[in-house]
Structure 1
Amino acid sequence: MRGLKDKVALVTGAGSGIGLAIAKRLGAEGMQVGVLDINAEAANQAVAQIRAAGGRADAQVCDITSYESVQQAVSAIESRLGPTWALVNNAGWDKPIPFLKTTPDFWQKVVTINYMGPLQMTHAVAQGMVARGGGRIIFIASDAGRVGSTGEVVYSGTKGATIAFAKALARELARKQVTLNCVCPGPTNTPAMDAFVGTGEEGQKIRDAMVRSVPLGRIGEADDYPGLVAFLASEDAAFMTGQTISVSGGLTMHG
């Protein structure tokens, strides 16, 4: 992709799953990758993988639910790698529970991680982008935020809010050449999916049902998304902002 070499990208939740796949791809594109994760061991292992493939990366522990932690992490990683060109808001969490069986504590956790976390990261990073006159912010949202998902009512709400937030801020920052776009994965085979549906017979039944619902005949893999993220971070996407793109094997088709 054009315009990525040597620029700095921060990826939240980059220690595993989709975040790890994105971090590895951006490293392969020649970017310097700031691997942010609440799990220090996972972050360091991700950095080791990127470096082993010839890329450049550095790790920083970051709890996106704490604005103080976010500010410290951004400051620390930028002091080592340089100013951020691209921020990938990937970190998230959910647990399948029918809404009427959920509690306020659960709502708070889902909202804080999936909505407030990306807001706090964006607030901490976008100010520098505006001052420098350019940057890319990419949200890993979800098709749950576009069409809803049974058992993920609160999560769906946070992802819908994230999509709306990205569109609104895209309008505010457009004249500063800072773009914001959302990538919406469908069901994906990641450690988070294992935690979500379980690994036993019942979990396999849920997976099989997911596969039957996808026109391309499979659920997503972590490597299905990094190419689009790299594109949105590049000069090739300089005229795209405020967009929401589904990558779901045809499960959702928006015109």
Structure 2
Amino acid sequence: MAEISNQLRNPLSAFDVVGKVYIITGASGTFGRGCALTLASMGAKVCLAAGSGAELAEVATEVAELGGECVTIQRRPDTLEDAEAILATALDKFGTVDGLVIASGFNKAGYIHEQPLEEWEAVMNANVRGNWLMAKAVGKWWIDNNRRGGKVLMMSSVRGRHGNVSGYTGYCTSKGATDALTRVLATEWAKYGITVNSIAPTVFRSKLTAWMWSDSEVGQATRARSLARIPLGRLGEVEDLMGMALYLLSPASDFCTGQIMYVDGGLTAG
């Protein structure tokens, strides 16, 4: 009989992140906060970066309440200097980095014939340029220091694959670019043992989508239209994304890279 491996004897050991260090950008947002609390509750250490100091402090307090260890920096990866400062904060505090969650982002809807170029560029800069800069800073540190096994997780969307009737030429284009960046970095960095994946949800409850849960006529209509396309019959909650996030940030996903993981209630299946 074949020997039973330790991982088959103890499958949960593959999800062990105790003592590992993760940088999370956009940490004050719904997805970033969810990742911070999930990782902290599992024994990981987190470096939290965001533009809002007050909201960042709230998440840091929640991490501490869970018994987690964290450091914060009020900065977004708008420039390479910003990205390197975020990395330096994590290294100064913890001495290493094992994973990177790029959860910072932005959206400004507008029909292409009406939207100013500056708004489209702002969406692309936040959702694509920021991803590239943050991945560049951390990936370079891993490669220069011969650190194998790094984990990169980016935030995509079903809108990287599907269009939208609501004037999303910036958002959809940026998420399509995120998908492409995920795949090319995965192949480029595979020889270093670095995995790169993205989570692509459908609409889930967040600060940006709270209006869809309201009783307003527009909120109700938009919610109904979204629900009609989801086979499971409900919109998402951030908790629905955390199992996938933990998988992609833990040793359980060591043979998974370059993937766009749809957590969408079946929307992309129909």
Shorter-normalised TM range: over 0.9
1:220 to 231, 236, 249: 236
Corresponding residue for residue 103 of structure 1: 116
2:195 to 172, 176, 179: 179
Return the TM-score normalized by structure 2.
0.89
Whole-angstrom CA distance in 2 between matches of 1:223 and 1:2? 17
Corresponding residue for residue 117 of structure 1: 130
1:147 to 154, 162, 166: 162
The amino acid of 1:225's aligned partner reads L
Residues 1:38 and 2:51 are matched in the alignment:
yes
Deviates more, 1:62-71 or 1:195-204: 195-204
Secondary structure of the residue that 2:49 maps to in structure 1?
A: strand
CA drift at 1:213: 1.9
The amino acid of 1:51's aligned partner reads A
The amino acid of 2:113's aligned partner reads L
Deviates more, 1:106-115 or 1:94-103: 94-103
CA drift at 1:100: 1.8
Report if the CA contact (8 A) 2:150-2:194 is conserved: yes
Corresponding residue for residue 126 of structure 1: 139
The amino acid of 1:141's aligned partner reads S
Corresponding residue pairs, total: 254
Corresponding residue for residue 194 of structure 1: 210
Secondary structure of the residue that 2:191 maps to in structure 1?
A: helix
Report if the CA contact (8 A) 1:83-1:128 is conserved: no
Return the TM-score normalized by structure 1.
0.94
Report if the CA contact (8 A) 2:109-2:171 is conserved: no
RMSD of equivalent CA atoms:
1.8
Task: Please list every run of 5 or more consecutive structure 1 residues that lacks an aligned counterpart in the other structure.
Answer: none
Whole-angstrom CA distance in 1 between matches of 2:74 and 2:214? 27
Change in CA separation of 1:199 and 1:91 when aligned onto 2, cut-off 3 Å? farther
Corresponding residue for residue 4 of structure 1: 17
Whole-angstrom CA distance in 1 between matches of 2:35 and 2:260? 18
Which string of whole-angstrom CA distances, capped at 9 and with x for unpartnered residues, describes residues 189-213 of structure 1? 1111136898732122211221222
Which string of whole-angstrom CA distances, capped at 9 and with x for unpartnered residues, describes residues 11-34 of structure 1? 111113111111100111111011
Report if the CA contact (8 A) 1:211-1:217 is conserved: yes
Whole-angstrom CA distance in 2 between matches of 1:196 and 1:34? 31
Whole-angstrom CA distance in 2 between matches of 1:97 and 1:197? 21
Which string of whole-angstrom CA distances, capped at 9 and with x for unpartnered residues, describes residues 203-234 of structure 1? 22211221222111111111111211111111
Change in CA separation of 1:30 and 1:49 when aligned onto 2, cut-off 3 Å? same
Report if the CA contact (8 A) 2:90-2:97 is conserved: no
Identity of aligned residues (%): 27
Residues 1:63 and 2:76 are matched in the alignment:
yes
Q: Which has the larger radius of gyration?
A: 2
Which string of whole-angstrom CA distances, capped at 9 and with x for unpartnered residues, describes residues 3-61 of structure 1? 41101011111113111111100111111011111111111110110110122222111
